[in-house]
A and B are shown apart, each in its own frame.
Chain A
Amino acid sequence: MKRFLDAQLLGPLAAMVLVTVVVAATTDRFLDPGNLSNLALQVAIVALIGIGSTVVIFAGGIDLSSGSMVALLTMILATAIKSAGLPLWLALVAVLLIGTALGALNGVLTAYLRIPSFIVTLSGLIAYRGVALMFNAGSPIFSLHPGLEPLFYGTILGIPLPFFYLVFFYGVATVMMVNTRPGREIYAVGGNPAAAKLSGINVRRVQTLAFAIAGAMTAVGAVLMAARLNSGSPNYGQTLELQAIAAAVVGGASLAGGRGNILSTLVGALTIVIVQNALNLNAAPAAVQNVILGLIILTAVGVDMWRAELARALGGILSRRP
């Protein structure tokens, strides 16, 4: 248990609890069951894509392409169902495989061709949305399949399905990062690629794996996005990549790589969504919401960066002798 609940998770968790208490105390309808399950729905897509973004960050890279990839993948899903007439399950499998392959491509360009991941995925951010616009003359495709919406809105025992997806994928991701060799190798490569190489770790393969995981999680997010609106659209997922990275950062992942707890990305995503929800319930204008989101990211990273100094200053005061 110690390995799962480390200091890197406790800080963001405490911040989230604080935010929740403040919001619950000041906002009437926040604790309504309807609002809470709405929260689970709102956080699901960002938090699931955030798993991939965080794994890439752990490996020392960055993935900016996920938002545009979501748009492209919903258009591929829509086309596969509506134009190609594929059965739903086959279309879903195809989208998951294509997402993984596109992620792996990011990885190959970064690891083997040594193009910085920021550039590779920035190109993806721009290009994938362009590719998405090439489907169906750039128009959204609606009413995809009656079996699609339940994937997002379905419930078990009254609990929305996305809650179970979060539990499942965060559980798998946590076990992978803590208990498996690939997880350890991802941290090693992100922490010091030169030392990882000298330890016999295949650095390029590990980097490619991290991006492939990000692609797979982006595909999962894309399926839920399509299910939520039973449609595909080249306009879906705008700024989603930044929200996913923000979740990782608010959760305390170091952009320098090698450090962080994957669960804290869920905490980060929840913190952001709870604040947004509170602002919505209090009818704050969208402009204000953006400003506040920016401030949250700045505060979270600031506290993280200055944590050691803050602790030292505090310790210095406490242990000062006469």
Chain B
Amino acid sequence: MASEEQPLWEVVEVSKAYPGVLANDRVSLRLLAGRIHGLMGENGCGKSTLIRLLSGVHPPDSGEIRRKGRVVTMNTPTEARAEGVATVFQEFSIVRSLSVAENVFLGRWPRRALGLIDWDMMRRRSAEVLAELEIAIDPDVITGDLSVAHQQMVEIAKAVAADAQLIILDEPTTALGPDEIAQLHRLLRRMRAKGHAILYVSHRLDEVTALVDEVTVLRGGKVVSRAGETAVDVDAIVSAMIGGSVADHYPKDRNTRTDVAMTALSIASARGVRDVSFTLNKGEVLGLGGVLGSGRTEIARALFGLDPLTAGAIVVDGRPLTLKGPGDAIRAGLALVSENRKTDGLFFNFAGGANMSSASLPRLSAFGFLDLRREDREAQALARQLELSAGATEKSVLHLSGGNQQKVVIARWLLSQARVLILDEPTQGIDIGAKLAVYRLINRLTADGCAILLISSDHDELLAMSDRVAVVRQGTIADIRAPQDLTHGDLVRAATTDAGRTAA
């Protein structure tokens, strides 16, 4: 830690709060030229916030960001680029319909007299940049025709052409195969040799330990391990990431009964679900753990009739299901609380009451006529049970807090009298109080005999609230265990290391 070298970039005691959460709490970070710096932490630890501060997306509430010792303020991404920071986000900022050369010089196309684009200059310069980085891509190719890995390299070439000295990569390997990851890492090492500072953010421990020179670990918005304090080693990083023992503020009741609620028999779907089998008992919570993109959401979609099954069968309450769409699943007593309540959960044109009843319209109507009084009565009763804020059934859900919005979505499935509930990231983006309300609701549902499939990227939550945990990898269930036989570290390792290296 005694490096006296002047850092290229330095983050000093930076804090940033969003409504309800202190996302960065006096975070400090030193980025040196010619080093690859790993930034680690679980989902929601504040990694993305820190990246946004460094790329000028948001300004910090307090603290300083220094470039070569000089304090800089960057209020827009353009200002950050002008300071030599280039960020490669998970969603690329590449225009797929343009050529590679046009993308490399996107928005800064070299001009000739009369403002015409100097195509020769642009091709020559991009060819030079690509050659310098040893990237074998023709600058005249349309970028959208390239593989994802090559598109990402174009993005990096764009950063180099813009003379960026600090390159930030946010989960750059999510969409890449092993060979492409190796190719990317070779490129990053060459850039390190040329004196760039690289901030590498990933939750894939194995690849991080193979690449980075030093690592900073965040937990709950704070730096828990500074560069040099933790060895660049899987076990050391995992223990820093998860900290002490699993928090014990999860009010878990065990309500598993002996009779089966749902069975999946070797189901598969066109979206990459393959050979998924499990049995879910009444009153049981089966957790699905795994990284983003491991196929958990896709399993949920297949079970709910959103993606047709290409193989296998689903049995609910002893009857095999024929799912033509979600309507069939709902009739069979299934429910899906989707991951993204804003895009596919809530009706912002409706008040809370109509949001709750949207999956129960057949039950609430006779000969096509809705029983509005009954709808109102049932919604009000649920709102009271779930301790929703006053008037929530009559106000547009736009004006509700995230926690109350989530309660409205869950209430929809209580109103539909669902017996098997799939909860996809049910506590994402809601505050601690609302999380507890969701946990208590899970307990109440299981006590009533409902079965729950819980998808969560919050490992503490998953281990604490599940009766059994299935580790999902590449669209299939790799292992099912009792949570007490599974440590937090196991789960992180099992989910983040490639198949073949079994979690010990």
Residues of A near any B CB (own CB < 8 A):
3, 178-182, 184-185, 187-188, 190-192, 194-202, 257-259
A179-B370, A181-B369, A191-B349 known; A198+B344 contact, CB < 8 A = yes
Contact of A200 among B326, B354, B368, B370 (CB under 8 A): B326
Chain A residues closer than 8 Å to B412, beta-carbon distance: 199
A181 and B346 in contact, given A200-B325, A202-B325 (Cβ under 8 angstroms): no
Separation of A192 and B346 alpha carbons in the complex (Å): 8
Beta-carbon contact of B359 and A199 below 8 Å: yes
Task: Considering the complex, give the chain A residue whose CB is closest to the CB of B324.
Answer: A202
The residues of B that contact A197 with a CB separation of less than 8 Å are 306, 325-326, 344
Q: Which 5 A-B pairs have the closest CB atoms?
A: A258-B349, A191-B349, A194-B344, A200-B327, A199-B358
Report the separation of the CA atoms of residues A257 and B350 in the bound assembly, to the nearest whole angstrom: 12
What is the minimal beta-carbon distance from B141 to any residue of chain A, in angstroms? 30
Least CB separation from B345: chain A residue: A195
| Shortest distance from the beta carbon of B478 to any chain A beta carbon, whole Å | 28
A-B contact sample (14 more), CB < 8 A, given A195-B345, A195-B347, A200-B330:
A181-B368, A184-B358, A187-B349, A187-B354, A191-B348, A192-B349, A194-B344, A198-B306, A198-B326, A198-B338, A199-B330, A199-B359, A199-B361, A200-B327
- What chain B residues lie within 8 Å of A182 (beta carbons)? 368
B349 touches A190 (CB 8 A): yes
Bound CA span A257–B412, Å = 22
Which of these, B358, B365, B368, B369, contacts A196 with CB under 8 Å?
Answer: B358
Closest B residue to A260 using CB positions: B349
| Contact residues of B between 469 and 501, Cβ < 8 Å to A | none
Closest CB of chain B to A183's CB: distance in Å? 8
Taking each of A188, A196, A198, A258, which has the highest tally of chain B beta carbons within 10 Å of its own beta carbon?
A198
Interface centre among A178, A180, A200 (most CB of B within 10 A): A200
Does B343 reach chain A (CB closer than 8 Å)? yes
B326 / chain A contacts, CB cutoff of 8 Å: 197-200
| Given A188-B358, A199-B359, residue A180 in contact with residue B349 (CB < 8 A) | no
* Closest chain A residue, CB of each to CB of B362: A181
Q: Which residues of B contact A (CB under 8 A)?
A: 304, 306, 325-327, 329-331, 336, 338, 343-350, 354, 358-359, 361-362, 365, 368-370, 372, 412
Which residue from chain B places its CB closest to the CB of A204 in the assembled complex? Answer: B325
Contact B369 A179 (CB under 8 A): yes
Q: Is the CB of A258 within 8 A of B368?
A: no
Knowing A187-B349, A195-B344 are in contact, say whether A201-B361 is a contact too (CB < 8 A): yes
Q: Which residues of A are found within 8 Å of B325, using beta-carbon distances?
A: 197, 200, 202
Cβ–Cβ contact B372 & A3, under 8 A: yes
Most chain A CB atoms below 10 A, which of B343, B354, B361: B361
Give Cα A182 to B370, complex, Å: 9
List, sorted by A's number, 29 A–B pairs whose CB atoms are closer than 8 Å.
Answer: A179-B369, A179-B370, A180-B368, A180-B369, A181-B369, A184-B358, A184-B361, A185-B361, A187-B349, A188-B350, A194-B343, A194-B344, A195-B344, A195-B358, A196-B347, A196-B358, A197-B325, A197-B326, A198-B304, A198-B344, A199-B326, A199-B330, A199-B358, A199-B359, A200-B327, A200-B329, A200-B330, A200-B331, A202-B325
A315 to B336, CA, bound (A): 41
Bound-state Cα–Cα, A49 to B95, Å: 43
| Nearest CB of chain B from residue A124's CB, rounded to whole Å | 27
Task: Flag if A198 contacts B336 (CB, 8 Å).
Answer: yes
Q: Measured between alpha carbons, how far is A196 from B325 in the docked complex, in Å?
A: 12
**Bound Cα distance A196, B346 (Å):** 9
Contact residues in A for B370 (Cβ distance below 8 Å): 179-181, 184
Complex: A188 Cα to B351 Cα, angstroms = 11
**Cα distance A288–B369 in the bound complex, in angstroms:** 46
Q: Specify which chain B residues have a CB less than 8 angstroms from the CB of A200 in the assembled complex.
A: 325-327, 329-331, 359
**Minimum C-beta distance from B305 to chain A (A):** 9
Q: How far apart sit A106 and B316, CA to CA, in the bound complex (Å)?
A: 39
Q: How far is the CB of A278 from chain B (nearest CB, A)?
A: 35
Contacts of B362 in A (CB 8 A): 181
CB distance from A194 to the nearest CB of B (A): 4
How many Å from the CB of A287 to the closest CB on chain B? 39
**With the chains together, A197 CA to B324 CA distance in Å?**
12
Chain A contacts of B361 at CB under 8 A?
Answer: 181, 184-185, 199, 201
| A195 shortest CB reach to chain B, Å | 5
Q: Is the beta-carbon distance between B347 and A192 smaller than 8 angstroms? A: yes
- In angstroms, Cα B367 to Cα A179, docked, is 11
In the bound complex, residues from chain B placing their C-beta under 8 Å from that of A190 are 349
Q: Give Cα A129 to B296, complex, Å.
A: 52
Residues of A within 8 A of B347 (CB): 187-188, 191-192, 195-196, 258
Q: How far, in whole Å, are A192 and B306 apart by their CA atoms in the complex?
A: 16
Complex alpha-carbon distance, A117 and B308, angstroms: 27
A179 pairs with B372, CB closer than 8 A:
yes
Q: Which residues of A contact B306 (CB under 8 A)?
A: 197-198
| A259–B354 alpha-carbon span in the complex (Å) | 13
Complex Cα gap A180–B367 (Å): 9
